[in-house]
Amino acid sequence: MILIMEQGKILEALRQKLEKVLEIVVGDLATIRTGRAKPDLVGNLVVTVYGGQKMKLFEVANISASDSTLITIAPWDKGVIREIEKAISESDLRLSANVSGDLIRVPIPSPTEERRKDFVKLLHQKLESGRIMLRQVRGDIKEEIDKLKKEAGVSEDDIERLLEELQKMTDEYIGKVEEVGKKKEEEIMEV
């Protein structure tokens, strides 16, 4: 009975950790430009406001994409418009912000073929980082399973089943990361 509870805890911890890694990878991939205007592209930029306080752009403004080539930013406090403009201009995104009254407009130019290929390389680097994180989670959980070998009443069959489930879940999440990456690559290369 104790072993079954322990197995359940281990597998639930595994699923939670794998899900968290997937969430991190998806968030990381959202920052790669695709030539389409998406609020995610600028939402996580850090803006220094109110005398040095660092906040993410989505925390200080409403961000929308009115069409596929323009992001519109409407700060809740109009006093931070210049700080937002500065954060966008100084970011690695190579975008320019145009202030128009109470709004900031960020045109999204279509990337060149060479730039798209650079984005695909960056995508593959981020995907590899995601796979590494998944393998680290698998290694951590495998250590937990190996500790069970020393406990009384744990058979080799139980350990083998846990290890098989560990590999099955890891493979499932690697597949999910690959699928997200494939969709993102198609999005990047779409003209």
- What digits encode the pLDDT tens for the residues 61-117? 999 988 878 899 999 988 889 999 988 888 877 788 889 888 999 988 877 888 888
Q: What is the pLDDT of residue 2?
A: 46
Mean pLDDT in residue range 18-44: 84
Where would I find the beta strands (DSSP E) of the chain? 46-49, 53-56, 61-67, 70-75, 98-100, 103-107
Mean pLDDT in residue range 125-147: 92
Instruction: Tell me the domains of the chain and their CATH numbers.
Output: 2-30+112-189 (1.10.132.20), 39-107 (3.30.1360.40)
Q: At what angle do helices 156-189 and 2-29 cross, to 10 degrees?
A: 10
What contacts 24+ positions apart, CB below 8 Å, involve 112-118? 116/35, 116/188, 116/189
Token pair in block for residue 83:
């700080």
Q: At what angle do helices 2-29 and 113-148 cross, to 10 degrees?
A: 170
Q: What is the pLDDT of residue 191?
A: 60
Q: What is the pLDDT of residues 156-168, one digit of tens each?
A: 888 888 899 999 9
Indicate if the alpha-carbon torsion angle 123, 127, 129, 133 is positive or negative.
Answer: positive
